[in-house]
Amino acid sequence: MKYKVVLKRTDEGVSASVPGLPGCWSQGATEDEALENIQDAIREYLSVVDEQVKGADTREIDVLV
Amino acid at 60: E
Residue 34 domain-assigned (yes or no): yes
Residue 62 domain-assigned (yes or no): no
Residue 31 domain-assigned (yes or no): yes
Please state, in angstroms and rounded to a whole number, the distance separating the CA atoms of residues 15 and 24: 11
Domain span at 26: 6-52
Torsion angle of C-alpha atoms 46, 64, 62, 35, degrees rounded to 10? -20
3-state SS, residue 5: coil
Q: What is the reported pLDDT for 65?
A: 81
Q: What is the pLDDT of residues 50-61, one digit of tens each?
A: 999 999 999 999
Please report the DSSP string for 9-65 in residue order.
EETTEEEEE-TTSTT-EEEESSHHHHHHHHHHHHHHHHHHHHHHTTTS---------
Residue 58 domain-assigned (yes or no): no
Residue 45 domain-assigned (yes or no): yes
Residue 64 domain-assigned (yes or no): no
Domain tally for the chain? 1
Q: What is the pLDDT of residues 10-54, one digit of tens each?
A: 999 999 999 999 999 999 999 999 999 999 999 999 999 999 999
Residue 1, pLDDT above cutoff 90: no
Residue 21 domain-assigned (yes or no): yes
Q: What is the reported pLDDT for 13?
A: 97
